[in-house]
Amino acid sequence: MIRAIIVDDEYLARQRVIKLLDTHPEIKVIAEAKNGELAVEVIDLKEPDLVFLDVQMPDFDGFEVLKRMKPKQLPYIVFTTSYDSYAIQAFDIHALDYLLKPIDEDRFNASVQKLLKHFEVQKTSEFNQKLMKMVKDFERPQDDFLNQITIADRGWELQVELDEVLYIEANGNYVNLQTPDKTHLYRSTMNTISDLLDPEDFLRIHRSIIVNRRYIKKCSYISNNEYEFTMKNGKVLQSGRSYRQEIMQYLG
C-alpha cells in the first residue's frame, strides 16, 4: 500500500485528487494539508511514500515545502500546478511528474501508472539527489526573470507576455494581469510573482499592486508618503506608505 498526502490550499482541489484516487486502491490517502507550513509538519510526522504537492500556496510554495522537509526518506512528489512553462520544463528535466490544473482524469491515471512503476523498485539516493537538485535549479539567478506566463483554462493554454502587462493586482489566491485589452486571472501570490519579475521593468507600489514602469504616465505625490500612479490606459493606482523607499528610488 502506498501512503499518500495531499497538499493544496484549495479544498475542492484536494477533493478532486481524492476522487480520482478512488479507482486506484494501491494508494491510500493518510492526510491532507491546506498550506505549506502544515504540510511540512504532516510530512515529517507521517513520513508518506507519496505527496501530491501544490506549487503555489499563500504562505510558502511547494518548493519551499521541499526544502523544509526532514523525513528519513524523501517521498515521491507529484506536483499539481497552474504554473508557467519554465516550471513544467524543470519537472520534465528532473523526471518528476506534474499535473496541470484543472486536473484531467486521463492525465492523472497516466501519472499514477508512472509512479507505480517507480514504487516497484526501491527509491535510491540518486532519486533524492535529483529532487533536491531540481529545487536548487529552480532558484533562478537574479538576472533570469520571468517574461512570459502560461495560463491554463479548461484544458487550454494561453501565453501572456509580461511586456504587455500594464499592472498586476492581488485577487485573493490569484492575481489580475491587466493587459491593454483584457484582465487575465493567474493563480499566484503577490510575493511569488514579484520575486520572478525584473525590477528594471516592474515596480511594486503596494502590497497588492505591481506596475509596469513603461506604462506609467504620471506619478504624483498625495500626502503621508503616498503616491498616485496614472497608467497609460487611464487607470489610477495609489501606493502604500511602506513602499515609499522603492518609489523614491524610481523617481530618482
Q: Is residue 143 part of a domain?
A: no
Residues 6+ apart with CB under 8 A from 184: 149, 151, 158, 160, 176, 177, 178
Look at residue 232 in the predicted model and tell me its pLDDT: 93
Is the pTM higher than 0.85? The answer reads no
| Statement to judge: residues 43 and 106 lie in one domain | yes
Domain tally, the chain: 2
| Statement to judge: residues 75 and 177 lie in one domain | no
Cα within 13 Å of Cα(127), Cβ side: 15
Rounded CA-CA distance 120/134 in Å is 23
- Per DSSP bridges, beta strands 148-153 and 216-223 are unpaired
| Statement to judge: residues 247 and 227 lie in one domain | yes
Looking at 138, 172, 188, the residue that finishes a domain is 138
| Statement to judge: residues 40 and 128 lie in one domain | yes
| Statement to judge: residues 33 and 126 lie in one domain | yes
Q: The domain that contains 165 carries what CATH number? A: 2.40.50.1020
| Statement to judge: residues 21 and 129 lie in one domain | yes
Residue written as cell 500612479?
229
Look at residue 63 in the predicted model and tell me its pLDDT: 79
| Statement to judge: residues 14 and 102 lie in one domain | yes
| Statement to judge: residues 43 and 78 lie in one domain | yes
| Statement to judge: residues 40 and 119 lie in one domain | yes
pLDDT, tens digit only, all 252 positions of the chain = 899 999 999 999 999 999 999 999 999 999 999 999 999 999 989 999 899 998 888 777 887 888 888 756 678 888 888 765 545 555 554 436 788 888 999 999 998 988 887 776 555 545 566 666 666 655 555 456 888 888 876 667 788 999 999 999 999 888 999 999 899 998 888 988 998 899 999 999 999 999 999 999 999 999 999 999 999 999 999 999 999 999 999 987
Looking at 138, 162, 194, the residue that finishes a domain is 138
- Domain boundaries, position 31: 2-138
| Statement to judge: residues 156 and 91 lie in one domain | no
Looking at 138, 156, 178, the residue that finishes a domain is 138
Q: The domain that contains 81 carries what CATH number? A: 3.40.50.2300
Is residue 94 within 8 A of residue 131, CB to CB? The reply is yes
3-state secondary structure 221-241: EEECCEEEEEECCCCEEECCH
| Statement to judge: residues 158 and 239 lie in one domain | yes
